[in-house]
Amino acid sequence: ELVTTLGFRGEALPSIASVARLTIESREADAGEGWRRVVEHGALITDEPAALPPGTRVRVEELFAKVPARRKFLRSARSEYAACLDVVRRLAMARPDIAFTLETVGEAGKRTVLSLQAGEELATRVARIIAHELKDNSVPIELVRETPHGVMRLTGVAGLPTWNRGVADHQYLFVNGRPVKDRLLVGAVRGAYADMLARDRHAVLALFLDLPPQDVDVNVHPAKTEVRFRDSAGVRGFIVSGLRQALATGDRRSAQGPDRGAMARWVSEPVAAAPTAPLLETIFTGRDWSAPQPRLGEAHTTWNAPLAQPGAMPMGRAEEAAPVPAEAQAYPLGIARGQVANTYIVAE
């Protein structure tokens, strides 16, 4: 019942070494030298001391190189890369006290995708991983509640309702430092934002729930991505109330990042050149001014025409106004009376 660490499945290393080239390099902080071991497809290749910095490095290469039937069922390189990136992102969020570097090798060579320094603030680490705009469009979460076995704490960063996404791929949930994808927690998040988001929109957030290990079971799923709580209703209510309480402090704010980005992408359209007026000398060139001009004759006749009699009605035809449909006057959405937080319209 008292699982306080993420755990480590040691049997996974020999399984990986049997289908790939596995290199492990490790050195303790107070040791004079480290040790390197290389296993290639189940065969020990190298087992020797090595000059290494403190820590452990595990490198896996040539995965399924000698098992073509299994290699054929691997997903595309892009999909595998996305899965690796998601794992590193979640681990980096859970441990802002540790530095993380993620590099990828492609046709253009090696490229650094993530480079996170140790000791960053939680809000800064989360914003660097999700989006830089999150720092200006979010509220901090900090809530504590007593339980029979200790203290339950909820921390993290929650995006403003006006800063949302069409998919729920930017919702990161952690229980005692373990990244999870639990239905209860996802439902609690949706319930907290229910009155603020449309059904097809999703919040952006990173929540960290810490509670006594007696109150949670992490061995529900082999992948450890699902958990079971002793008091599920209490945990859900704690998350919903914590999120709503934090969002209530930011209800007068609206997202500003997308607006600045739209203005930065504004491109003025080219304006067509104004047509040039003909020169005055070209108007009079080639005309015979000795003969009377026909237009001048017409103007002379118009000037000598008698004026209209006083009180004469102007000639014209009045059109009846088109009838207004009844449904247009029904106000099916009510009559607008005001606006709240520059976001919502109050109708009567």
pLDDT digits (tens, 9 = 90+) for 227-253: 999 999 999 999 999 999 999 876 555
171 contacts 205 by C-beta, under 8 angstroms: yes
Mean pLDDT of 339-344: 76
Cite the residue boundaries of each domain of the chain with CATH code 3.30.230.10.
135-251
At 90-116, the pLDDT tens digits run 999 999 999 999 998 887 888 999 999
**CA distance linking residue 128 with residue 8, whole number of Å:** 28
Please determine, for residue 306, whether its predicted confidence score (pLDDT) is greater than 80. no
Segments in the chain forming alpha helices (H) = 12-17, 68-71, 77-94, 122-130, 183-192, 232-248, 257-264, 280-284, 294-303
**Which residue spans within the chain are E strands per DSSP?**
21-27, 34-40, 43-50, 55-61, 100-106, 109-116, 138-147, 150-159, 171-175, 178-180, 205-210, 216-217, 228-229, 336-340, 344-347
Please determine, for residue 40, whether its predicted confidence score (pLDDT) is greater than 90. yes
Please determine, for residue 325, whether its predicted confidence score (pLDDT) is greater than 70. no
Q: Which residues pair with 34 in a beta bridge?
A: 50
> What local confidence, expressed as pLDDT, does residue 336 receive?
81
Higher pLDDT, residue 333 or 88: 88
Confidence of residue 259 (pLDDT cuts 50, 70, 90): very low
Please determine, for residue 120, whether its predicted confidence score (pLDDT) is greater than 70. yes
**CA distance linking residue 253 with residue 247, whole number of Å:** 10
May I ask the CATH architecture of the domain 135-251?
Answer: 2-Layer Sandwich (3.30)
**CA distance linking residue 229 with residue 218, whole number of Å:** 9
> What local confidence, expressed as pLDDT, does residue 239 receive?
95
Q: Which of 26-30, 223-227, 300-304 has the highest mean pLDDT?
A: 26-30
**CA distance linking residue 223 with residue 300, whole number of Å:** 99
> What local confidence, expressed as pLDDT, does residue 171 receive?
94
207 contacts 174 by C-beta, under 8 angstroms: yes
| Nearby residues of 257 by Cβ (< 8 Å), 6 or more positions away | 133, 136, 137, 163
Please determine, for residue 263, whether its predicted confidence score (pLDDT) is greater than 60. no
**CA distance linking residue 106 with residue 110, whole number of Å:** 6
Higher pLDDT, residue 232 or 314: 232
What is the pLDDT of the chain when averaged over all its residues? 82
